[in-house]
Amino acid sequence: MTHTPTELMATVAARELRDGEVVFVGIGLPNLACNLARATHAPNLVLIYESGAIGAVPERLPVSIGDPSLVTGSLMVCGMADVFQSLLQNGRIEVGFLGGAQVDRYGNINTTVVGAYDHPDVRLPGSGGAAEIAIHARRTVIISRLSRRAFPDAVDFVTSPGHRFRGRTRRELGMPGAGPVKVVTDKAVLEAEAETGELVLAALYPGVEADEVRAGVGWRLRSRPHLAKVDPPTDVELRLLRDVLDPQRLYLKG
Amino acid sequence: MTHTPTELMATVAARELRDGEVVFVGIGLPNLACNLARATHAPNLVLIYESGAIGAVPERLPVSIGDPSLVTGSLMVCGMADVFQSLLQNGRIEVGFLGGAQVDRYGNINTTVVGAYDHPDVRLPGSGGAAEIAIHARRTVIISRLSRRAFPDAVDFVTSPGHRFRGRTRRELGMPGAGPVKVVTDKAVLEAEAETGELVLAALYPGVEADEVRAGVGWRLRSRPHLAKVDPPTDVELRLLRDVLDPQRLYLKG
Amino acid sequence: MRDAVAALVRDGDTVVIEGFTHLICFAAGHEIIRQRRRELTLCRLTPDLIYDQMIAAGCARKLVFSWAGNPGAGSLHAFRRAVEGKGPPLELEEYSHFGMVGRLSAGAARLPFWPMRNYMGTDLPAANPRIASIECPYTGERLATVPALNPDVTIVHAQRADADGNTQIWGLLGVQKEAAFASRRVIVVVEELVDQSVIRADPNRTLIPGIAVDAVVVEPWGAHPSYAQGYYDRDNAFYVGWEPVSRDPAALAAYLDEYVYGVRDRREYVERSGGLEQLRAAARVCAGVNYGY
Amino acid sequence: MRDAVAALVRDGDTVVIEGFTHLICFAAGHEIIRQRRRELTLCRLTPDLIYDQMIAAGCARKLVFSWAGNPGAGSLHAFRRAVEGKGPPLELEEYSHFGMVGRLSAGAARLPFWPMRNYMGTDLPAANPRIASIECPYTGERLATVPALNPDVTIVHAQRADADGNTQIWGLLGVQKEAAFASRRVIVVVEELVDQSVIRADPNRTLIPGIAVDAVVVEPWGAHPSYAQGYYDRDNAFYVGWEPVSRDPAALAAYLDEYVYGVRDRREYVERSGGLEQLRAAARVCAGVNYGY
């Protein structure tokens, strides 16, 4: 079966999850990725939504992070003070998914403004819980489509920190989590170089050339010496995505 | 009907409560006083126990501050973090009852040690929630039987602050509540003098002489110019105490 | 609702209408618009459609928030026009969700600040000088702080309460409890007014005690187009449909004329909206527990 | 229980057995005594009879607490003998209830301290130098602080849990949630193991998620002589009867011999105690709520 770039993104993101992990889920592709992982190699994944639903097993595709289907049949519902303090700040979230209008060379994410903060060209929604997820989750995975606009050399505003902020590393800044270990795009996977924290090309999707990826980022993208191979979605994965997880193509467009 | 000193103490304490007030209740005489008030002039009293039961309507006399009968049929049960932060520190408790092994001239209470802290003659239970009740309740009422041992000039250890600590007033120390406005004993009621914070004789029980009260405190007890009159318990109050609220005489002994 | 808002919400107030996607009290927001309250400081983690409407209606001087979008469907365009310099100005004070949760937690505890490990490596403190820091007296670490938020009035929607305001909520809890305890005045709006015996039968379900509540308003469907677990579903079509309305100032004004100014109360809103019955919740009733001893 | 204590409670550990009068896990305390754990730092708001027994049995090096008495019935005499210099020494670290709640709240949030308005005008900070203070970065006020408490192991008794440790509690909640989240290892002891569908039917009732739990032990009557709302009443006669036992070291040793060392497990304790059935709770079952949408 042939697949779309979006289907591959969901599949690659799903494969980042290990069975039994505790995942902070967002709506959209991250939700699809988590449910795909649960349906395949990670049946014991624990999904936590920042709205306070733990161990959610939604019977429909949730259209909001606070959809009532996330509550019905979940293991626990707690207030948001517990979500941010007892779970996230406590270090109990193993993986967080993040996205954003801009992702820069060090994995910093901007979801606040395009342009100057006080006089923005485009006002974006803001942090929500993203800043603290980026700081506290033991590791994060960024999901974003490649383009020069979306991957500038430096973001206009750092909402959610990546590997380096004004020259200082996460460790120097005292951040508990490891930061964005992978950036899953529609053409390739980027990873942070251990020493510099800079995002480099780590794996190409089938049929994609490295130059296409370089054209989609605003800095001189370096590559790992050996690029990893990305397997296309299996028929099982595709059928799950298309027939079970998002039959109405709410998030699988494109 | 004749009454015992303990019955009068419970009655005097009950009369300190106004209808609709929010009261932090302890076990024993304070519990009897609150329930007597509820059964007479203050039907809308809201009883809160430090164990987290709000609006308790126990069907039996609770033998512990965490008795299950305080939960069944109550308006709300909350965790102790809410008790101390959202209710007490928040300023929502109007009256707190306190007692203790020692009460001094300024209404400071000791429930920690007799003797030196590091080598006590008698080790008492400690603060529990008393320190913060004494600091935060909008006003407190102390219930204690008179004796020179129980009312020394200065307590061995200040567990729960009264009106003056090492010469400094509550206001100087930044305490939100007004402190012990009344000390209900088995012979008289003491009150704090506004300027000095010193406890003075404010009302004698029927048939008690001022000298008997002076003999029961360890400092030169002064009197208000005009002593208030304390009415003995009415027949209604006595019947409620004896037949309804404490028929087994668990707390009405003496 | 008219009396509660008239008595308890004043021009210039700091107002919180809380509810994280769940139990957002649109009914109260509409009544505030109808009563033409002005110069409000509106606070909420997720401003959502109701604050977009209140901004468009001219109620707001300032917005205190952490995520301003139309979840899953687009932008809050009245908000964006104000911030992008294409509409009446709006002062912003911006945090993350954790920051807003901390502000209300501090307010509920009547502490002046709340400490957290947060904001290192972000531009948020540069954008908001009220995000400060403190040194731990034990470890010497620096921690971020946010200042307490003590609103003048908080409005909380809930499934049920008794006449004294003892309020029970299930499903997502958001920061409803913290907001209520932090606030000087509290209005609880419920789907159902119940006898106190219902509350007393399950006291662990009570989230807000009556002693913290100033007014109880009964307003079925009061959270539409958001939802009330066990009562009705989220009206996703409304959220999706808001995008073009919000984008066009004239369409937005027409919406307010028809559904806010043009109705006297929530009952008329429900009638005019039509078809809400199809959002009515299915039955998934849990078993009770034993409170005996 | 034997396996859980053997695997998760180690000599020298900082141990919390929580439950405010409600759900005090005597079963776990007895098993720790039987396995002769030593040099423990025992933490609890109200040490209660179980810590008096553990102190008498020589398990404790240190006690961290806020109220050490036999509620409504007298003293903890093993504790008193130690502190009054008439028995083996015991180090003390003493707070008020609010202080202990703050310590566990900080632990649960993985903050190094917790701020509170407290302790002004008391001798508690002089007796415990770990009570410190901090200056508010907004108002300049000085607030008291307590350091975080992060136990090595916390033992929580509960009405029910599923096999994964998702734990539901009703009635008094104490600081069970905070203690569990603050702890490196968590043992949940339940009256009843239930199918996960029971938990999932009423998720707002869950206090501790399975992801925070290392072991689930099923131990009916495990909280006796304290109580479990909806399961059995407090055994007040036992509390009253403890006063003379605790007062006499020989009587206390005889008690431990008979009811702790002399039984293999909780089942034998229940048999030997006899007559517990009369404490069985009456039925006061509440109605359920609707989780549908």
Nearest to D21 by CA among C39, B69, C200, A78: B69
- Degrees to nearest 5, angle at CA C53 with C48 and C58: 130
C-alpha C126/C-alpha C66 separation (Å) is: 15
- The C-alpha atoms of residue D21 and residue B99 are separated, in whole angstroms, by 20
Q: What is the spatial distance between Cα D49 and Cα A45, in angstroms, rounded to a whole number?
A: 41
Minimal-distance CA residue of chain B relative to C162: B75
Domain B5-245 has CATH 3.20.20.70: no
Residue C223 to residue C225: CA distance in whole angstroms: 6
Q: Which residues in chain D have their CB less than 8 angstroms from residue A69's CB? A: 293
pLDDT of residue B250: 84
Q: How many CB atoms lie within 10 A of CB C257?
A: 10
pLDDT tens readout for residues C83-114: 999 989 999 999 999 999 999 999 999 999 99
- pLDDT at site D73: 84
Given CA atoms A218, A221, A227, A228 in this order, what sign does their dihedral have? Answer: negative
Task: Pinpoint the residues of chain C covered by CATH 3.40.1080.10.
Answer: 2-95+153-279
Instruction: Tell me how far apart the alpha carbons of residues C119 and D207 are, in angstroms, rounded to a whole number.
Output: 29
pLDDT tens-digit readout, B119-159? 999 999 999 999 999 999 999 999 999 999 999 999 999 99
Nearest to B90 among C181, C196, C199 (CB): C181
Asked if residue B27 lies in contact with residue D72, where contact means CB atoms within 8 angstroms, the answer is yes
C-alpha torsion angle, residues B123, B129, B134, B139 (rounded to 10): -140
Rg for chain B (alpha carbons), in Å? 17
In this prediction, what percent of chain A has a pLDDT beyond 90? 89
CATH fold for the domain made of D2-95+153-279:
Glutaconate Coenzyme A-transferase (3.40.1080)
**Residue D113 CA, distance from chain mean position:** 22
> Residue D72's pLDDT is what?
77
Q: Which helix (H) or strand (E) holds C216?
A: strand C215-218
Catalytic residue (choose from A21, A50, A132, A237): A50
> What DSSP letter does each residue of A205-222 carry, written as one string?
PTT--HHHHHTTSSS---
Cβ neighbors of B147 (< 8 A, separation 6 or more) are: B216
Q: Could you tell me which chain D residue has the CA closest to the CA of C118?
A: D111
If you search the block for the tokens 């979008």, which residue do you land on? C69
The angle that helices D249-256 and D236-247 make with each other, rounded to 10 degrees, is 130
Asked whether A185 and C133 are in contact (CB, 8 A), the reply is: no
Calculate how close chain B gets to D183, using CA atoms only, in Å.
17
Q: What would the DSSP string read from start to end of A25-65?
A: E-SSHHHHHHHHHHHTT-TT-EEEETTSEES---SS--SST
Q: Least CA distance to C176: which residue of chain A?
A: A79
Q: Is there a contact between C138 and D283 if contact means CB atoms under 8 Å apart?
A: no
Regarding predicted confidence, which is higher, B100 or A117? A117
d(CA C6, nearest CA chain A) in Å: 30
C119 touches chain A (CB under 8 A): yes
Give the pLDDT score at A251.
Answer: 86
Question: In this complex, do A79 and C175 lie within 8 Å of one another by their Cβ atoms?
Answer: yes
Interstrand relation of B180-184 and B188-192 (parallel, antiparallel or unpaired): antiparallel
Whether residue A83 has pLDDT greater than 90: yes
pLDDT of residue D212: 98
- Does an H or E element contain D4, and which? helix D2-8
Q: Which of A72, A75, A86 sits opposite D166 (nearest CB)?
A: A75
Q: Are A108 and A90 in contact (CB under 8 A)?
A: no
**What is the three-state SS of D8-20?**
HCCCCCEEEECCC
State the CB neighbour count (10 A cutoff) for residue C198: 18
Whether the CB of D178 is below 8 Å from some CB of chain B: the reply is yes
Quick check: A149 and A215 in contact, CB under 8 A?
no
pLDDT in tens, C226-241: 999 999 999 999 999 9
Q: What is the pLDDT of residue A182?
A: 96
Integer Rg of chain C from CA = 19
What's residue C73's pLDDT? 84
Burial of B229 (0-12, 13-18, 19+ CB in 10 A): exposed
Which single residue is written with the structure tokens 């996960």? D196
What is the model's pLDDT at position C95?
98
Query: Which pLDDT score, from 0 to 100, does residue A1 have?
Result: 82
* Helix H or strand E encompassing C17: strand C14-17
Contact partners, residue A229, CB within 8 Å, separation at least 6: A203
Beta-carbon contacts of residue C69 (< 8 Å; ≥ 6 apart):
A125, C46, C75, C76
Least CB–CB distance from B91: residue in C110, C199, C204: C110
According to the model, what pLDDT value does residue D58 have? 98
pLDDT tens by residue, A14-43: 999 999 999 998 778 888 999 999 999 999
Q: What is the dihedral of CA B201, B203, B209, B212, to 10 degrees?
A: -50
- Does B173 contact D233 at a Cβ distance shorter than 8 Å? no
Give φ, ψ of D29 to 5 degrees. Answer: -60, -45
Q: How many C-beta atoms surround the C-beta of residue A132 within 10 A? A: 30
**Can you state the angle between helices C48-56 and C249-256, rounded to 10 degrees?**
100
The pTM of this model reads: 0.97
pLDDT of the residue at B100: 86
At how many degrees (to 10) do helices D266-273 and D26-34 cross? 110
Who contacts A247 (Cβ-Cβ below 8 Å, separation ≥6)?
A: none
Pairing of strands A164-165, A168-169: antiparallel
Q: What is the pLDDT of residues A192-224, one digit of tens each?
A: 999 999 999 999 999 999 999 999 999 999 999
Residue D266 has a pLDDT of 97
* CA gap A250, C72 in Å, rounded: 10
Distance CA B157, CA B18 (A): 32
Q: What is the mean pLDDT of chain C?
A: 97
Distance CA C271, CA D35 (A): 69
Read off the pLDDT of residues C13-57 as tens digits, 9 standing for 90 and up.
999 999 999 999 999 999 999 999 999 999 999 999 999 999 999
* D69 part of contact set with chain A, CB < 8 Å: no
Residue corresponding to tokens 């003999």: B215
Specify the pLDDT at position A61: 85
Shortest distance, CA D218 to any CA of chain A (angstroms): 19
- State yes or no: pLDDT of C155 exceeds 90: yes
Look at residue D115 and give its three-state secondary structure: strand
Q: What residue segments make up the domains of chain B, in order of their start?
A: 5-245
Q: Which of B7, B16, B21, B50 is catalytic?
A: B50
B208 DSSP 8-state letter: -
Looking only at the bridges linking them, the beta strands covering A188-192 and A180-184 are antiparallel
Cβ atoms D224, D279 nearer than 8 A: yes
pLDDT of residue D106: 98
Chain B, window 118-177: residues with a beta carbon less than 8 angstroms from a chain D beta carbon: 119-123, 125-132, 135-136, 157-161, 165, 168, 170, 173-176
**What pLDDT shows up at residue B26?**
79
Instruction: Report the pLDDT averaged over residues C167-171.
Output: 98
Within chain D, which residues score under 50 in pLDDT? Answer: none
- Residue C209 token pair: 């005690």
Output Rg (C-alpha) for chain D, integer angstroms: 19
Q: Is B50 a residue of the active site? A: yes
pLDDT above 80: residue A254: no
Chains in touch with C (3+ beta-carbon pairs under 8 Å) read A, B, D
pLDDT of C252 strictly over 90: yes
Q: What is the pLDDT of residue B253?
A: 78
Spans in chain B with pLDDT lower than 70: 254
Residue A59, classified by CB atoms within 10 Å of its CB into exposed (0-12), middle (13-18) or buried (19+), is exposed
Q: How far apart (Å, rounded) are the C-alpha atoms in residues A142 and A140?
A: 7
pLDDT the model gives residue B248: 87
Q: What is the Cα–Cα distance from C12 to C38, expressed in whole angstroms? A: 6
Going from the C-alpha of C198 to that of each of C201, C202, D156, the distances in angstroms are 5, 7, 29
pLDDT for position C72: 77
ipTM of the shown complex: 0.97
The answer to whether D181 contacts chain A (CB < 8 Å) is: yes
Count the alpha carbons within 13 Å of C159 in the hemisphere toward its beta carbon.
24
d(CA D206, CA A77): 7
Other Cβ atoms within 10 Å of D254 Cβ, number: 13
